[in-house]
Structure 1
Amino acid sequence: MDGGNGLNIMYAKTLNEMGIDRMNLHPIRVPFHGIVPGRQAIPLGQIDLPIIFGDQSNYRTETLTFDAVGFPETFHTILGRPCYTKFMAIPNYTYLKLKMLGPRGVITIGTSFHRAYECEVECCGHTTVVVASEELATLREEVIEEAPDVKRSSGLFESTEEPKEVLLDPSNSEGKKVRIGTALSSE
């Protein structure tokens, strides 16, 4: 469960274990960020799969779109906000539960704290390998070199001693202006 993620992610190994051929992936060239430090990641493709939550007496089925990635995995998939929106599900990270309304009442999906801990340890192992890699050091150097000068960024406010006149309403033809500056008198 990842309520901060705007994607549903499925790892290539999971696709292989499910017997899904890579030819079933829809090509996608839209990158996403936050997986590889300082770099964008391009998915292998997208796939639409029917997902079922619940049991035989009370279940829901919806089709979700997953971005398939070829990264080392700890999980089978990562369910993000698109999943929660489609199922109108509510995640509770403290209790490791996911709840949604089914045709015969509330469906509750959960896991054990022991399994969550095992996944966390495995993720830390992957992170340690990445942090220790020479590639990450190279990425850090490239990011620092390519980083824009924060003081010169075009979207930031720069104060000047001289007052500036700005239209109160640019769409209004009267042309009323206000003076803005750091060294104006109280008048």
Structure 2
Amino acid sequence: MLYFANYSSDGNTSIIRETWARLIDQTLSTGGIAEACSVLKRVGVNIYPGDGGGIPLESLCLHLEKAALERSESGVESIGNDDVARALIAVCKGATEPVLNAYDQLLLNGAILPSPKLRLRLLQSVLVVLHEWAMSISSQTVGRSATAASLVLAGKYSLDQIAIFNQGVRDKIAIAANRSIS
């Protein structure tokens, strides 16, 4: 159903959001956040067309981040700061921009995030997304895989490459921080 809904005129219909919410809720009740993230990756990557249609990233992000916060605060489950963010990046086939945009939209809307703890959790996830973005940029710069780039991040770069890389990271972090403060 999610696959065929992807080809409708509006990728963010309430039916799609409700179907994803039910799927996530079902997996949360049976296997927790880890299972929900795993199902999101398995299902989402098969229907993600590259433009965000068919997958309501903001809804999924908020749903999973709220559940992660509740479960970690109640002691039901130990959840890493990167679980949800990495699952969303996996759904987007490694693209960090759509995920960062989803987090930005949530952080911009203060009415959705009444809890400072939830805002903090989202900001921690933004840092994970920015880290992944930085790794992809550095891997493109030095022609290595993202994993190899993370191992040689302190390796030999020209001063120009370091300056450009650092400025890009600072810009992304500043934009995310400024948006969350407003």
Q: Which has the higher helix share?
A: 2
TM range (shorter): under 0.3
TM-score of the two chains, using structure 1 as the length reference: 0.26
TM-score of the two chains, using structure 2 as the length reference: 0.26
Greater Cα radius of gyration, structure 1 or 2? 1
Q: Which has the higher strand share?
A: 1
